[in-house]
Structure 1
């Protein structure tokens, strides 16, 4: 990858529907040259998908929380993945350093459905307890869902 590839990716991050000609105007290439580069980035799996981001509230998922997950003993990441994949409200999760074993991001319709999802996580055999923080307002959102 070179600087132009990075600029093309930047343009696609801003608008995945941008035309090759429009991108080319920004990066200084013809539309066909941009298309060839995008095709190569896709073939090389640098670009993994083109997506649409919908406001979660439109889908009825207005409540979001970060949840620290604390396990009993040592739990393998594959076991945590198995546990968390059974809860559809879990939209993102990762193992972390520090006191918690994992950080989990949950989206739900309302507080009651958030509580229900948290309970399904808490009752998993290796989970000791959780600590939650409900998001009040989003300040920066660069994450692609």
Structure 2
């Protein structure tokens, strides 16, 4: 991967829908050359996909929380992971090291819905302890910082 590939990745992070022609203008290459480079980055697994970024407030889910989860000793981790897909308020999950087993990102309509989710996690999914924080706002640092290192 050379500096032009890195430039293309930064541009695609900023606008995943940019055309090969637009990208080519910015890196001073033909659209065909850019297309070849992007396909090569996809084939190598550097680019794993493209997705839309949604505004959760447009869906009435503007209340976001980060919740640290500790499972009960008898809870199967893989079963817990599979069951998370059935909880629509969970929009992200990471297995972590330290005092907790998982960190979840939740998007709820209000505190009542959040309370319902916590109760469900404990009653149905084998969660022993939940430690949550309300997300006030997100600071977007961008993955383009990683590409340059």
In the superposition, the TM-score normalised over structure 1's length comes to 0.86
Q: Which residue number corresponds to residue 139 of structure 1?
A: 139
Q: Note if contact 2:80-2:125 (Cα within 8 Å) is conserved in structure 1.
A: no
Gaps of 5+ in 1: none
Q: Relative to structure 1, is the Cα distance of residues 114 and 25 closer, same or farther in structure 2, using a 3 angstrom cutoff?
A: same
Q: For 1:16-55, what aligned pairs fall within 5 Å after superposition?
A: 16-55=16-55
Q: Relative to structure 1, is the Cα distance of residues 125 and 80 closer, same or farther in structure 2, using a 3 angstrom cutoff?
A: closer
Q: For 1:91-130, what aligned pairs fall within 5 Å after superposition?
A: 91-124=91-124, 126-130=126-130
Q: Note if contact 1:66-1:104 (Cα within 8 Å) is conserved in structure 2.
A: yes
Find the aligned partners of 1:6 and 1:17 in 2 and give their Cα distance.
17
Deviates more, 1:133-142 or 1:97-106: 133-142
SS of the residue aligned with 1:11? helix
Find the aligned partners of 2:126 and 2:118 in 1 and give their Cα distance.
14
Q: Which residue number corresponds to residue 10 of structure 2?
A: 10
Bigger relative contact order, structure 1 or 2 (CA pairs below 8 A, ≥6 apart): 2
- For residues 42-87 of structure 1, the C-alpha deviation after alignment (integer angstroms, 9 at most, x for no partner) is 2333222222212111122111000010122275542331232221
SS of the residue aligned with 1:128? strand
Find the aligned partners of 1:2 and 1:61 in 2 and give their Cα distance.
41
Count residues in correspondence.
143
Say which structure is richer in helix: 2
Find the aligned partners of 1:102 and 1:50 in 2 and give their Cα distance.
26
RMSD between aligned residues: 2.0
SS of the residue aligned with 2:112? helix
Gaps of 5+ in 2: 144-149
Deviates more, 1:77-86 or 1:31-40: 77-86
Q: Note if contact 2:66-2:104 (Cα within 8 Å) is conserved in structure 1.
A: yes
